[in-house]
Every structure is written in structure tokens, then in C-alpha cells.
Chain A
Amino acid sequence: MTDPMTAGPSPHPPSNLSGMDPEFLEQLRSQMLRFAILQLQDEQQAEDAVQEALAGALKNAGAFNRRAALKTWVFAILKNKITDTLRGKGRTLTIGTLAPPDSSESSDHFDDLFDETGHWHAQERPVHWQQPEQQIENAHFWRVFEACLTCLPEQQSRFFMMREFLELSSDEICHNEQITTSNLHVILYRARIRLRECLENHWFLNGEHA
């Protein structure tokens, strides 16, 4: 992977990419920015990281004749930038320290999923997803990414993406965000429950009940 060039904090995609569909580029940049702001909790740092990632794409933009390949590559650069920044920050005061881990998820939602004996309500029981697993992994993994940004409360989204997308260890997250391991595991559990439900309701409702 090529090292990205540095670039100023211009709010638009670099001009060398102007040969590409501007609507696609704007959507790409918008999605990258949401992801970066969520993780870095600093709009200026997020703007810089996104701009540098897009600038990095300048060098090889011609090599990507498919949008999906370019998008994946640009996000890979951004992911590395965010990970480096988070690791460089060390301990930070973030929402993790300002909000108790239970505040982003009322127990009411879980009462909607499980009955008083702790078993699934009939209408909430997970169903078999019709699409082959390979198809989900290949063609729809951006859906998981988008669902993280749109379906989950901010705290759950941030920690889930740190753990799964940025591949930070539990220890790193707990150290940086000053939360306990058990709190992190509860947040990740709630994120997985909600994300799975969101994906099923939006994309897999045509699945058969097993």
C-alpha cells in the first residue's frame, strides 16, 4: 500500500480525483468523515485524516476501475491513520468517561427482545439469513459498516468499530477510554444484539424462520 501524501484541510476531495463521479466522491467523503469523527471525537483531526487518505488515493486512482475497490482502499488508508492517531493519543477523556456504559442502551430495548424468562419473543427470534454467507461477506460488508453508523447509539458504534473494524484489542480500548473490561464487553454485546437486529430487519426479512 502506498503511503498517503499529506494535504491541507480543504473540505473537498482532491482535484486529481475530479475525473471521477463527483456524487460518488462526495458520498465517499461524507461516509469517511462520519466514521473519522465518531472515532477521533475531533472534527479538525477527522477532516485532516480524511483529506490525507483521499490524497493518498491520488497516486493510484487510475488503478481502480471499480468504485468498490477504490472505496475499500481509501478506507484502508483512513483506518490506519485513525488507528495510529488513537494509539498516539493514549488516555483521553471521551464519551467513555463521561457517560456510564448503560446510558446508551435502556433495558427497555432488551425487554422488547426477550420475555420475562429470558427467552426470545417469538417475533424477535433470529431467523435464517437467506443470502449465502459468502455473499454477505463479499457484496454486503459495507452494509454492516453503514448499519454501524446509522443503527447504533454513538457509544456502541464507536467501541464496536474500534474493536472490529480498527482491530484494537480490548485492553487498548479499556486503557484509552478508561473503562473496565466488563463494561466494554457489555457495550459490545449490546452493539452486536442491535446491529444483528438492524441488519435482519433491513436486509434479511425475507429469510425463513428456522
Chain B
Amino acid sequence: RQTRLMSEAQERFRHLTTLRNAAQR
């Protein structure tokens, strides 16, 4: 649970990269 840090890394499972790349497209 402390996934929280990986999400925080996008602001200031590690699927997160895929989601961001898709959104940026």
C-alpha cells in the first residue's frame, strides 16, 4: 500500500507508466 509512493513519483503495478504514456498520446 505504501503504490502510494509510485503514484506520488508522477507528481513530484509500476502499469502506471503504461497509463501515463496512453494519456499523453
Set of chain B residues within 8 Å of A129, measured between Cβ atoms? 15, 18
Collect the chain A residues with CB atoms within 8 Å of residue B8's CB.
Answer: 185, 189
Q: Which residue of B lies closest to A125 (CB)?
A: B13
Q: Which residues of chain B from 11 to 25 have a CB within 8 Å of any chain A CB? A: 11-13, 15-25
Which of A119, A184, A185 neighbours the largest number of chain B CB atoms within 10 Å of its CB? A185
Quick one: which of B4, B11, B17, B19 contacts A195, CB cutoff 8 A? B19
Please give the residue numbers on chain A whose beta carbons come within 8 Å of chain B beta carbons, in ascending order: 110, 113-114, 118-119, 126, 129, 133, 136-138, 140-141, 144, 164-165, 167, 170, 184-185, 188-189, 192-193, 195-196, 199-200
4 other A-B residue contacts (CB within 8 Å) besides A140-B22, A170-B11, A189-B8: A118-B1, A144-B19, A165-B23, A192-B16
